[in-house]
Structure 1
């Protein structure tokens, strides 16, 4: 690595204060859905319990040992209803709490911190999904607006990939806010250092924000202020469990994913208001995703996502809160944006999958392992630990050059 490049990248290796935590560097690991949660006992016979495995503890330990300073867990559902596919993460049961305790212990033993990402898929799930059926609840959403078929919204784990089902409008949003609060309590019991509230992805909070999905006429719909209320109340609820300085928020103003997305004028008004209010709450950070074709839904050759500069557009709304960016960043671009003051930090996702030692590879100029296997466990047979490790924990650590 050249001297100039080394100087530029050095900002990624400097510590950072985040709320009450001191992070050892700026290599943050974004939430990555890998679907290795299985049931207690025989996986194939207990797909609805979604309990972390020992292999998952190994996976998170590897990346903490490899140099991550802050890890965001895969999305943890706040309730069983809304379970979109087998083996998705959850934090609603005691068995899950105990499973995640093994993960947080492993991360802490390697000197890193870990936040739990809380989410509710809402209408993105399916009424015929095993977890949804097991919950005994209907498919919920802010309004009875069905997700359109196609695009990313496919139910690949269900026989014959059926079309979407119509959700039931949530009668009392306060009950769902309580689900997030209880999930935060469970996460604290499991040893997590903080919470990331998932406000993107076309999931529950995003659905409340988006006026193409939220058609309510009560205090939770209509104006930008009303549509932002649910997400802001969720943030306040989990901040009452963890101090606000241990709470972050993930937003996706570009839309596109899971059939959401507003016109630019509505997007700016909605997310501008949300960020202005969130900035008053003393949060650790707000993470904003950039536009990327991989998270857009194309129908008839046209994408649903809204292409605009999310860094330049939304950072000015935050006066006191760290602004973190995400989506397709290289280490070099991240360093450029941090050095120039465009962002306070960057979450990396894809590089961590096949490179548990991502920071070391950057530090020593070692090429990244580009051979990535996206193994997803849809309706698997009984799986051994060896099979669970495939494409998950079997990526090698690079050999670091010896000092002269």
Structure 2
């Protein structure tokens, strides 16, 4: 009997060859904001390695002062052309690929080169700074700043929609809205970062409006090939509400999302590191089981689970029907042939080089990116 992990699945309008997804992973190897040949090699390796669905690294929908230089964008024709080379190659190798559409909101810095080039402030739902942060490539390594409250959030929704138009031109099979990890969409959802008194803030319904209206705009472009990633337990980038408010907020959001017939919802599980006040003194993750808590609100919407999923657990979760698929992250960084290894029951024995995950100035960008050992080739 075949492993349930390695059975095909209808995901929106496309069929993925297996249920083993590659999570979005920030890697910082683009040429400024433009995808390049090295990135193509990286994605090709993982497609050859058995990823049924690849979600791209976060793709910036507009120029932003990220904590990480060399993050790719998708707002101009050059970027679209170079992404097309990657999507075409990945698809020819048998995988499907979604673009994760990303806006950082308040987790940007006005002195970062791309923010300066953008010529606009750091926008967020409210003028509330996230605690902490460290922009190592800016002189003095500054932390987060107080953002400018966006007066008309529909401007940002229009940017997401245009990014989807560009992603379609670039050949992506679908788009995943980054609604997790304390970035813009999450900032609208969370009452600690959204103190608005208009119809984009205050009540649960108002705080969920930005996510829902953005998803509807993406659906206008991609139809059923739209997904969202959510991290209800918070923690990262100074996110987290009290437990009851968290459950109330995400339960409402997911009930409404279920009406939209998305291709999937990715739920990020609780990660203990963001719950430890000794980690950096500012994390405030809210411990609860996201699958048990929120699956009942999603009806027939496929669920993918993410965060510290082991291959054995992935097998059980998919085999039991609790999830449609799983996303793995670090294991895909360190094992380009991860899918083939799991299917062949080979050890995951490559040692992570954490220092190279996000690129290091002056270091060969291929190191820790496309040089991990491959053990299974067919």
What TM-score results when the alignment is normalised by the length of structure 2?
Answer: 0.95
Contact 1:86–1:379 at 8 Å: present in 2 too?
A: no
- CA apart distance, 1:163: 2.8
Counterpart CA distance in 1 for 2:231 and 2:358 is: 26
In 2, the alpha carbon distance for the partners of 1:303 and 1:205 equals 19
**Alignment partner, residue 220 of structure 2:** 240
Q: 1:138 and 2:121 equivalent?
A: yes
Instruction: Give the Cα–Cα distance (whole angstroms) in 1 for the partners of residues 114 and 303 of structure 2.
Output: 35
Structure 1 residues 220, 308: closer, same or farther in 2, change over 3 A?
Answer: same
Which of 16, 23, 26 matches 2:9?
16
Which residue, 358, 374, 394 being the options, matches 2:371?
394
Partner of 1:45: none
Shift of 1:84: 3.5
- Tell me, yes or no, if the aligned pair for 1:82 and 1:123 is still in contact at 8 Å: no
Give, in whole Å, the separation in 2 of the partners of 1:358 and 1:214. Answer: 39
Q: 1: distance between equivalents of 2:142 and 2:359? A: 15
Question: Which structure has the greater CA radius of gyration?
Answer: 1
Contact 1:84 1:131 in 2 (8 A): no
Q: Secondary structure at the match of 1:325?
A: strand
Residue in structure 2 matched with residue 280 of structure 1 by the alignment: 259
Corresponding position of 1:210: 190
> Which of the numbers 318, 339, 347 marks the counterpart of 2:298?
318
Comparing 299-308 with 203-212, which one deviates more in the overlay? Answer: 299-308
After superposition, the C-alpha distances for 1:266-303 in whole angstroms (9 at most, x for unaligned) are 10111001000000001001000001134557357674
Q: Is the 8 A contact 2:19 2:324 kept in 1?
A: no
- Over residues 177-232 of structure 1, what are the superposed CA-to-partner deviations in whole Å (9 max), with x where a residue is unaligned? 00000000110111100000000110000000000110000000000000000010
Residue 255 of structure 1 is matched in structure 2 by 234
Partner-residue secondary structure (3-state), 1:332? helix
Aligned position for 2:330? 350
Q: Deviations over 1:73-106 (max 9, x none)?
A: 0000111034333101211121111111111011
Q: 1:394/1:143 Cα in 2 relative to 1: closer, same or farther (>3 Å)?
A: same
C-alpha distance in 2 between matches for 1:20 and 1:399: 30
Tell me how many residue pairs correspond in the alignment.
376
Would you say the 8 A contact 2:121–2:147 is kept in 1? yes
Aligned counterpart in structure 1 of residue 48 of structure 2, from 57, 65, 73: 65
Q: In structure 2, how many angstroms separate the alpha carbons of the residues matched to 1:187 and 1:295?
A: 32
Match 1:36 to one of 3, 26, 29: 29
CA shift, 1:378, in A, is 6.3
In structure 2, distance between residues paired with 1:79 and 1:117: 13
Compared CA separation, residues 298 and 51, structure 1 to 2 (3 A):
farther
The answer to whether the 8 A contact 1:199-1:252 is kept is yes
TM-score, reference length from structure 1 = 0.89
Alignment check: 8 A CA contact 2:337 2:377 kept: no
Q: What residue number does 1:169 align with?
A: 149
